[in-house]
Every structure is written in structure tokens, then in C-alpha cells.
Amino acid sequence: MAIDLDRIGRASLRELGDIRIDDVLSFIDRGIEKMPSYMDLYRRWESQQWAVGDIDFSLDRQDWLEANDIERKATLWSHRLFFNGEERVTSTLAPFVWASPTPEIEVFLSTQMVDEARHTVFFERWWREVAGTDARDMTQLLKEIRPEANEGYNILFYDRLSMPSSRASPFITSSSRRPSPSRASASSSSPCASRA
């Protein structure tokens, strides 16, 4: 039976669950030969939305309560790396959006930034509802769970990752923290401002 590749491209996240993985792989192969446009990617993003708030963590909580110490330790370690990584990527994507050479790229990159923020929120919710924490906000939680990894991890996530981001942005010079909105909106050199 012929594969309806266009149907796969238009499928919602729920519909994707009913599509054979081989057909999805054929769709991906076609994408390699015939790259989708930035607006195609944007439209696909729009049709494949999901919400952190819709996820039921009750089974994860049950698994957590039944896990032994080694399993909990291993889960916490991998989740610390993931949570921290998602927040780091969210933090450093904004300058790439500002530096986009076309509105189409800017729109597509914005969706990527939202996705990374959503992944960050996912892990915050997992911490509160599965592992448990008394942290008053995400800032404190991220500080508490920051992995004590090797020096390479720190260099990659706290120095290197922010470097290209800093170069892409005229506003950030020494860290990956976002600039104040007033500073960004006041500058006529912002790609966003120049197109507004």
C-alpha cells in the first residue's frame, strides 16, 4: 500500500501514535532528500502541540515509591543532567532568534526555544510530583539539583554553550543570562526591532 507521506507531515501528535514507524522513517528519509521549509517546520510544530500540564505523573510517583536506593540514585542523576541541560539550552537560544537572518528562521527558532522551555518545565513538574522537593521556585530547585559533574560538563554547559550565543547577540557579553527587556527593546540594532 502506498504511503501517504503528506498525511504524516500533517499528523497531530495523537495521530502520530497510530502511524507505523516504518512510514515515519520513510517520511524522514524524504525530508533528507527534500528539506522542508522553515514555515513547513513551523506548521508541523503547531499541529503537534502537547502540554506539560496534561501529563499524569501518578504512575511515575508510584514507581518512585517502590524503587530501591540505587534505582532512585540513578534516576536522580540522569534527571539532574537532563533538567539542567534543558534549562541551559533554553537560556542560550534567545540570541540565535534575535540573530536570525529572515523572519521565517526567526519564527522557526522561536518554536525551538518554546520547546526547550517546555522540557524544562516538564522536569520541574517531575521533581515536585515524583521525587519531591521543598524548593520555593525553579531558581532554587535548579541550584539544588545542579549536577556535580566533571569539569568537562561545567565547561560545556556553563562556558562553551553560552559563547556562540554571546557572539550572536550584541546584548550579552560575559554570561548566558538574558538581557533586560528594556535594553533589548531600546536598541535599533536588534533584528527583531529592525523588522518590527
Which window, 7-15, 65-73, 115-123, 146-154, contacts Fe ion (CB under 5 A)?
A: 115-123
Give the residue at shortest CB distance from Fe ion.
119
Closer residue to Fe ion (CB): 117 or 149: 117
Torsion, Cα of 116, 143, 132, 156 (10° steps): 50
| 3-state helix vs strand vs coil in the chain, percent to 5 | 70, 0, 30
Which window, 44-52, 61-69, 110-118, 122-130, contacts Fe ion (CB under 5 A)?
A: 110-118
**Can residue 88 be called a binding residue for Fe ion (CB under 5 A)?**
no
109: Cβ–Cβ under 8 A, 6 or more apart, which residues? 93, 96, 97, 100
Which window, 66-74, 118-126, 134-142, 148-156, contacts Fe ion (CB under 5 A)?
A: 118-126
Tell me the three cell numbers of residue 182: 528594556
Contact status, residue 83 vs residue 124, Cβ threshold 8 Å: yes
124: Cβ–Cβ under 8 A, 6 or more apart, which residues? 83, 138, 141
Any idea which residue has 521556585 for its cell?
137
Question: Cα(119)–Cα(16) distance, rounded to whole angstroms?
Answer: 20
Q: How far is the CB of 116 from Fe ion (least distance, A)?
A: 5
Q: How far is the CB of 186 from Fe ion (least distance, A)?
A: 31
Q: How far is the CB of 91 from Fe ion (least distance, A)?
A: 12
Closer residue to Fe ion (CB): 141 or 190: 141
Greatest Cα-to-Cα distance within the chain, rounded to the nearest angstrom:
57
Q: How far is the CB of 139 from Fe ion (least distance, A)?
A: 19
Q: How far is the CB of 86 from Fe ion (least distance, A)?
A: 5
Which window, 38-46, 79-87, 98-106, 170-178, contacts Fe ion (CB under 5 A)?
A: 79-87
Question: Cα(170)–Cα(98) distance, rounded to whole angstroms?
Answer: 9
Integer-rounded Cα Rg, in Å, for the chain is: 20
Closer residue to Fe ion (CB): 93 or 168: 93
Closer residue to Fe ion (CB): 40 or 115: 115
**Can residue 119 be called a binding residue for Fe ion (CB under 5 A)?**
yes
Question: Would you tell me which residues interact with Fe ion (CB under 5 A)?
Answer: 86, 116, 119
